[in-house]
Every structure is written in C-alpha cells, then in structure tokens.
Amino acid sequence: MPSVTLPPGRPLLLVGYSIAWLHVLEQPRAEGPVLVIEEPAVARKRGAHTKLAGAGIADRLIDWEYQLPGAAECFHRTYAELRPVAVLPCVEYAVPFAAQLAALYGVPGAGPDAAGVLRDKWRLRQVTGQAGVANPRSQPVAGPDEVREFMRAQGGPVVLKPANRQASVGTRVLYHLSEVEPGWQECLEQDEGVNLPDRQMPLRMLAEQYVRGDELSVEMLVREGVPLFSNVTQKRLFPGPRPIEMGHAVPAQIPGRLWELLVDQTRRVLDAAGFGSGFVHCEWIVSHGVPFLVECAGRMPGDGIVDLIDYAWGTDMVALFEAVMRGADVSAMLPREPVAGAAVCFLRVEPGEVLSVQGADDMRQVPGFLSADVLIKPGDRTRELRSSWDRVGYVRVGAATAGEALALAQQAAARVTVAVARPAPAAVHHLTPIA
C-alpha cells in the first residue's frame, strides 16, 4: 500500500535521500511536487523524516525497499497513477532502480541495461574492454589464495576492491604478498553505517592491476546517448594504501588534447554500455598518456564536485540535469567554457577521542571561501581513514583558476587543528591535506 497520500499533479521523483538535494525538494513547482524515495532503514538512520518535517515537507518521502530485486516493477504497480515528469537517481545505489522506473513510466533515463553495467565494476570491465577502452587487468576473487595468485601473475601491486560498492569502501592497494591475508580481512569490513539498509549486501570482490598515474574524472550530461556538456575534474588522494579523495579541482589543468581524449573515451564507455539520458561521473587514471578506466557512475558526482562545476562554469548543473530528464531542449542553457576555478579539500584526523577543535572559523576567512563544514566536536570518536565516510570535514574555495583555488583550499584546511586522545599521549594533528 502507498506510504504517503499523493498530492495532485505530476511529481518529480528523486531516488535516494541526499541532503545535497534538499533545495530541489523545497522548490515550489507548478506541475507537481518533488518526492523522494528511500529505503525505510536508511531514511530512519539518516533522520530523513525529521529533517523533511523541519523543512515543512514531511509528506514528500516514500519509504520503499528499492534495492531489492523487482522493486521497480512493484513500485510502478503500487503507484501507477503517479505519472512522474522525471526520475532522477541521487545516490549510487539508486541508479538501477531509477533507470528501471524511468523505463516503466516512459520518461528519459539511463536505460536498465546500461545502469546495470555501470553499477557492476566487473561487467563494466568486460563491456568497455570489448569496445577498446583501456582497463586495468581485473579478475573476480573469492579469497586470499586467488588474490596472491593474481598478484604473482601481475608481478607488482594490485588493488583489492568490491565490485558493487561506493566511496572507496573495502578498497585497498596491496604492495606485497604478505599484505594479502590481512588486506583481505580488512576489505571484507565494508561498513557504510547509515547509508545502507539493515540487510546484507552480496559480497563480490575484484583483484585488479595497480595503475600509477594522474587521477581525473569526466562529468558528462547526456541526452539520448549524445553528450551535451563535459567537464574534467582533477583529483588528489590521501597518501597511503587506500585510494580516498583528498580533494578535487575544476576545471582540470591539463593539456587540451588530454581533455579531448578523456571526453572521447568517456563517450566510448557510454556507447558500449548503451547509456540513454542522464548524468555520469567517469573516473580515469592516465598512465604514460593512456587513460585507464577506473569506474563510471550513472549519477551526478558526490564530494561537492557539482558545486565546483557550477562555480567554475557559471551554471546550475542540477537544473540542466532535471531539464534533460524531463525531455527538454537545453541547448541554449549550456555553458561553453569555464569562467573561473574551484576546489575542495577534505579533512582527516587520526583515530581517537576528539578533545578540541580549533580554527574552523579561521578557515572561513580565506579569500574566495565558498563553503565549509567540520563534522566533529569534542567527545566524538574518529576512525581510521578507510573510506570517504571517515573524512571529518571539507572546505570549498573559488578563484580565477583551479590551481589558485586548490592552493587557497589547502591554506584554509591548514587552519584547523584537532586534539585527539589516543592510546599514546594526546597529540595535536594539523588537518592539512598533503599535496
């Protein structure tokens, strides 16, 4: 039975509750409201009902176990009268359901087959490799022995990762055979806390060739398989064996030929997958001039990259995405070239009990400051940095160029210090991202 009383009009459906999309939920619309679909357990753990009620839109949330097989068909039968104007995936795990639901309602979408390919890193390797896209050598593995065998065959480091997770959860670079056993056990601990339902997600692991190079991503808005807008983002990682983003800069300061190559290869990925309409975030490692595909998400990027794009390109990318998914012609609204630069730096701290946090206000005084947040306070316990969820804050900065913005963001992050009590005597840690 429906979990909400449906208001009149044709709604916009957002799949996956995300604070970043609250401004869309709050906007009045002539044709109908914006509704968000979320797993009941995730909505409860993330306080979605309370937060929406605080914004005066408590009736906008539909509890639905959308990550289960057949969930889209069941939703469509239950809410056949909805007739949405568009269906947008807002989080990674929503991509297949949103694509299937869009197809059932007859509105633009990625396409169920394409969404399935993008959500499965092993299928993505197979499909894009057959289309001539450079991929790291990859193999499904069921235990440490198979990882060691693969590592011996590679003759060098490998990346151990899940085939179907997000935010670098359960991902680690293994440099030596002695790291395989503890690394396997560590990667099996894929705790995403409030971001997953209270049921177990199937475990499928991959061992892959470790490719050294510069990390970049392509963000692309696509209508019926045709790219309408493309951006390239430069990525920096925290040092260590886990590939966790330390920061991003937009637009990437790379040669024009490499920019064009990355955009062309992203289009090849989407052609191979049969992608229809939507937004993609495609990650690459460029080694000796060759882009190797890392993964490709069939939704808008996280980490505040959309905000960086909006500032650097002078646009509203969410509005463009929504318009495309409604089937509108957005050609007159598309930005042609960037007008500035923007960057984000993320904050980390060693694990322990937080004793004090200082400098958060100073961080906001840096020139070009856009936004920031420090997510910890005295009394909180911080964890070892094992996924993006373990970062403790961020700062975003705009400037004339991406390089200037990144330097300013790093300066801002360096103004924050946190005292942490550990098993050893308490120490003060500067939250300075390492360039």
In terms of Cβ atoms closer than 10 Å to its own Cβ (0-12, 13-18, 19+), residue 93 is buried
The reported pLDDT for the residue numbered 60 is: 86
The reported pLDDT for the residue numbered 192 is: 58
pLDDT class of 29 with cuts at 50, 70, 90: confident
The reported pLDDT for the residue numbered 424 is: 52
Question: What number is the average pLDDT over the span 225-246?
Answer: 92
How many percent of the chain have pLDDT more than 70? 91
The reported pLDDT for the residue numbered 1 is: 37
How many percent of the chain have pLDDT more than 90? 66
Residue 138: partners with Cβ closer than 8 Å, 6 or more residues away: 121, 122, 125, 206, 207, 208, 209
Q: Which fold has domain 115-119+213-339?
A: D-amino Acid Aminotransferase; Chain A, domain 1 (3.30.470)
pLDDT class of 435 with cuts at 50, 70, 90: very low
In the chain, the amino acid numbered 296 is C
Residue 159's nearest CA partner among 125, 121, 206, 124 is 206
Q: Which fold has domain 343-430?
A: Aldehyde Oxidoreductase; domain 3 (3.90.1170)
The reported pLDDT for the residue numbered 386 is: 80
Residue 414's nearest CA partner among 401, 402, 397 is 397
168, pLDDT greater than 70: no
pLDDT tens across 302-335, in order? Answer: 989 999 999 999 999 999 999 999 999 999 999 9
Q: Which fold has domain 137-209?
A: Dna Ligase; domain 1 (3.30.1490)
> What would the two tokens of residue 338 be?
């960037």
| 433 vs 317: which has the higher pLDDT | 317
Residue with the two structure tokens 């002539």: 30
The reported pLDDT for the residue numbered 197 is: 64
What is the Cα 218 distance to its own chain's centre? Answer: 12
Residue 60 DSSP symbol: G
Task: Give dist(CA 174, CA 405) in Å, integer.
Answer: 33
pLDDT class of 433 with cuts at 50, 70, 90: very low
The reported pLDDT for the residue numbered 169 is: 65
Q: What is the C-alpha radius of gyration for the chain, rounded to an integer number of angstroms?
A: 22
Angle subtended at Cα 325 by Cα 323 and Cα 328, rounded to the nearest 5 degrees = 45
What is the Cα 40 distance to its own chain's centre? Answer: 21
Contact 154, 139 (CB under 8 A): no
List helix spans (H) across 314-385: 317-325, 360-363
What is the pTM for the complete model shown? 0.90
What residue segments make up the domains of the chain, in order of their start? 12-107, 115-119+213-339, 137-209, 343-430
